[in-house]
Structure 1
Amino acid sequence: MFEKIIQPRFSETDALGHISNTTLPVWFEEARQPVFKIFTPTLAIQTWPLILARFEIDFTAQIYYGQEVLIKTGISRIGTSSLNVYQEAWQNQQRVAIGTTTLVHFDYETQKPSPISESQRDALAAHDFQPA
């Protein structure tokens, strides 16, 4: 599992003073960077092999400005050419959101999914994280 600390910004608050629900997809994407590096160590866009096929987020508690948020990221499923990244956001020892993103390993030349290599599978499997 990977962990990343996010310091909420004032601009991420909504009219009610909470962190806006539109902020979590951005935070979760930022916390997926170690997963991206398994496929593209340099993060070079020119050789980017992943596309986002789906994401869902459930909010389980309010998130507040001025308090750090810990994002936990891991792999909950590895398929032939796709994977699910499972993530949790925590603030003050309380889980405040959970999310799952499906990424597809994609060949832009053929415009089709391509198999995840054995070495990539091994690297992904080292970060197994199953929903509680």
Structure 2
Amino acid sequence: MPPYHTPLTTDALRSLGIPAPWNFGLADRVRFGEIDALGHVNHTAYLRWFESFRLPFLKARKVTDYGPTDPRLVLKQVTCTYDAEMLIGEDYVVTGRVSAFRNTSFTIDFAVWRIETDLAPVRCAHGGAVVVLLNPDAPGRYPIPEAGRAAFVAEDGAISEA
């Protein structure tokens, strides 16, 4: 298993059996606090995992450094479909990619993969979000930085809808 909380490269993801188009991921392990009364991962944990993924992903994609002059990032919409049960102690990888973008917003897709030794990864959940960039200190929207737009296309194969 790769190190937890460290961005995973395309090569690392492929070595785990995670297919294209996923080129960025973060590994972790299911914790006790993420389990519900039925003994499996609570549905809200997946949304927290997506949020934890977004922070290093958007920094790597040059959208923000999370400084005081960087845009505020807000969710307009979020979805999650649960594909397979996950249990305490299981290793997983969250993957994500930007599939489309406009001038001040983008759509990010996610997947959660259970990683088991000597077995193909199992997609346990998938979803997405629409993220809007807002000005850091005033009302109104903030344009996606050109470096971020270029990274969305080059790294994720995103489509410009602007």
TM-score interval for Structure 1 and Structure 2 normalised by the shorter chain: 0.7 to 0.9
Provide the TM-score with structure 1 as the length reference. Answer: 0.87
- The residue that corresponds to 1:65 in the other structure is 88
Percent identical across equivalent pairs?
29
Would you tell me which structure has more strand in proportion to its own residues? Answer: 1
Counterpart-to-counterpart distance in 2, 1:56 and 1:9: 22
- The residue that corresponds to 1:13 in the other structure is 35
Deviation sequence 1:35-93 (CA, Å, 0-9, x none): 3312222x33x334122111111111111111101111111111111001101001141
Deviation at 1:110, TM superposition (A): 4.2
Mark the runs of 5 or more structure 1 residues left unpaired by the alignment.
none
Provide the TM-score with structure 2 as the length reference. Answer: 0.72
One-letter code of the match for 2:37? A
Give 1:51-130 correspondences, 5 Å limit: 51-92=74-115, 93-128=121-156
SS in 1 for 2:155: coil
Q: 1:4 to 1:30 in 2, by over 3 A?
A: same
Deviation at 1:118, TM superposition (A): 2.1
Task: With a CA cutoff of 8 Å and minimum separation of 6, indicate the structure with the bigger relative contact order.
Answer: 1
Across the aligned residues of Structure 1 and Structure 2, the Cα RMSD in angstroms comes to: 1.8
Deviation beyond 4 Å, 4+ runs, structure 1? none
Counterpart-to-counterpart distance in 1, 2:154 and 2:91: 26
SS in 1 for 2:90: coil
One-letter code of the match for 2:35? T
Mark the runs of 5 or more structure 2 residues left unpaired by the alignment.
1-22, 116-120
SS in 1 for 2:58: helix
Counterpart-to-counterpart distance in 2, 1:89 and 1:74: 12
Q: Is the 8 A contact 1:81 1:116 kept in 2?
A: yes
Deviates more, 1:4-13 or 1:111-120: 111-120
Deviation at 1:95, TM superposition (A): 0.5
One-letter code of the match for 2:131? L
One-letter code of the match for 1:29? E
- The residue that corresponds to 1:32 in the other structure is 54
